[in-house]
Amino acid sequence: MELDPAGLKERLRRRSPPVPPVYGDEEAGREGALTPASVLVPVVAHPGRLTVLFTQRTSQLRIHSGQISFPGGRAEPGDPSPEVTALREAAEEIGLKAGQVELIGRLPEYLTRTGYRVTPVVGLLTPPLELAPDPREVQEVFEVPLAFLLDPRNHQRRTREFQGRSVSFYAIAYGGRDIWGVTAGILVNFSRRLAD
């Protein structure tokens, strides 16, 4: 699906179906309250093409080490909205200034099996970007073409063992990188949202 910035904004402005398709982890949210969190889905508007910016987490992190993700994290008590959480986390993780981001919409919430209710916030970024990744959290920042990520032919379904049982999840492989789990699930929702 090839889009320009105006086409992307238009599709995100369209009214969602009465019951939006929400994809989350299997068994998500069945035990207790979910912790609110937010991620920024940063779409970079290069001349003639759109890409999505990702981070690869450092290997020394206690949780999700080495994984590919969007900038984001849990909401803090003073955060008035998911947008504020996403922008705060992006500033902390990769040094992205809020003034560099045009917020253009939200995607369906993603419920994780680890107890989070994640709100993905889509932001449009116009290069050149002045980023300063936090070396304690981020090993690398890289981009993948949006059209590749939105193409359902690139959405793989896999299984793995998690806490003694087999669970399924989405994955998207690109250029030797493996985008999987919550990040890939959010991208599947993104693709479905734009196809509505």
Shortest CA distance to 126 belongs to which of 33, 23, 47?
47
Q: Are 129 and 100 in contact (CB under 8 A)?
A: yes
Q: Identify the sign of the CA torsion 106, 10, 17, 180.
A: negative
Sorted by where each starts, the structural domains of the chain and their CATH numbers stand as 5-195 (3.90.79.10)
Q: Are 39 and 112 in contact (CB under 8 A)?
A: no
Say what the pLDDT of residue 28 is: 59
Buried residues in 32-56 as b, exposed as e (16+ CB within 10 A)? eebebbbbbbbbbbeeeebbbbbbb
pLDDT by position in tens, the chain (length 196): 678 999 999 999 987 665 555 567 766 555 568 899 999 999 999 999 999 999 998 866 565 556 899 999 999 999 999 999 999 999 999 999 999 999 999 999 999 888 899 999 999 999 999 999 999 889 999 999 999 999 999 999 988 776 677 778 899 999 999 999 999 999 999 998 898 6
Encode pLDDT of 150-174 as tens digits.
Answer: 999 999 998 877 667 777 889 999 9
Say what the pLDDT of residue 165 is: 76
Say what the pLDDT of residue 66 is: 64
Say what the pLDDT of residue 156 is: 94
Listed in sequence order, the DSSP H helices in the chain are 5-13, 82-94, 146-150, 182-195
